[in-house]
């Protein structure tokens, strides 16, 4: 079983939720942490907001191509272990995906992107991997991030995290409130049947103001 994060960020002065757990860096915005949801049984990264990292510490947000390893001994040991496995079996999808997750948790987002892309080249059927990859791309290339989120949503129409992240990128980064509104409408439709979607009232208010 792979461990996926599909994180959610906070945006627009703590009113709107986005996709990096906890904070947006480098934006100069005062934000509040998102609500913590319970992870799926046996999987601490099952696509829920606030899921703990592999080291049991809060995840740091991606920093748009800048690496910043946390120095956590447990994660560093796991990264070395996975590097050894990849040296002897470089095309093992599960190992590549797991190694990408570990690098993500360490804050090494450029390396995480590389590992996720190598995994995708072998098998491209995971909306979770695509969503994590999109988060890693967001700061450096928001259009590329949106492409990954859109692919994930097309692959799994009930995958709300990818739609939520698309809404954030469309509104905050690509200045497309109409596109963000379409994602919001889809999220509202999914709320009737899909658990775990955060409250959307803040987005309703913000997008209504943008349209007025």
Residue 53 lies in a domain: no
Chain-centroid distance of CA 143 in Å reads 15
- The confidence score (pLDDT) of residue 8 equals 53
Element housing 16 (H / E) = strand 16-17
Determine the structural domain holding residue 103 and report its residue range.
67-124
Residue 45 lies in a domain: no
Same domain, residue pair 166 and 199: yes
Residue 84 lies in a domain: yes
CATH number, domain with residue 108? 1.25.40.10
Question: How far, in Å, CA of 64 to CA of 137, rounded?
Answer: 6
Same domain, residue pair 153 and 212: yes
pTM value is 0.73
Residue 50 lies in a domain: no
Residue 160 lies in a domain: yes
- The confidence score (pLDDT) of residue 29 equals 30
Report the half-sphere exposure of 111 (CA within 13 A, side-chain side): 16
Q: Which residue in 78, 142, 151, 146 sits closest to 115, CA to CA?
A: 78
Same domain, residue pair 172 and 117: no
Residue 40 lies in a domain: no
Q: How big is the chain, counted in residues? A: 212
Q: What CA dihedral angle connects 95, 97, 101 and 103, to 10 degrees?
A: 70
The tally of domains found in the chain comes to 2
Q: What CA dihedral angle connects 11, 16, 21 and 25, to 10 degrees?
A: 10
* Tens of pLDDT, residues 56-115: 333 344 333 334 455 789 999 999 999 999 999 999 999 999 999 999 888 888 999 999
Residue 32 lies in a domain: no
């Amino acid at each position: 079983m792979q461990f996926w994060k599909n994180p959610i960020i906070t945006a627009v002065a703590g009113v709107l939720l986005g996709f990096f757990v906890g904070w947006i860096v480098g934006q100069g915005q005062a934000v509040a942490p998102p609500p913590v949801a319970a992870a799926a049984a046996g999987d601490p990264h099952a696509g829920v907001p606030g899921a703990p990292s592999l080291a049991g510490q809060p995840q740091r947000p991606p920093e748009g191509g800048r690496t910043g390893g946390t120095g956590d001994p447990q994660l560093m040991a796991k990264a070395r272990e996975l590097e050894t496995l990849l040296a002897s079996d470089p095309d093992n999808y599960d190992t590549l995906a797991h190694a990408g997750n570990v690098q993500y948790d360490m804050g090494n987002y450029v390396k995480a992107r590389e590992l996720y892309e190598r995994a995708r080249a072998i098998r491209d059927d995971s909306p979770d991997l695509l969503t994590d990859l999109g988060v890693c791309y967001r700061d450096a290339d928001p259009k590329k991030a949106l492409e990954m989120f859109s692919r994930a949503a097309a692959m799994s129409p009930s995958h709300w995290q990818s739609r939520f992240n698309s809404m954030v990128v469309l509104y905050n980064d690509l200045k497309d409130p109409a596109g963000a509104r379409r994602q919001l409408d889809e999220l509202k439709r999914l709320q009737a049947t899909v658990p775990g979607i955060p409250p959307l009232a803040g987005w309703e208010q913000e997008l209504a103001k943008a349209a007025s």
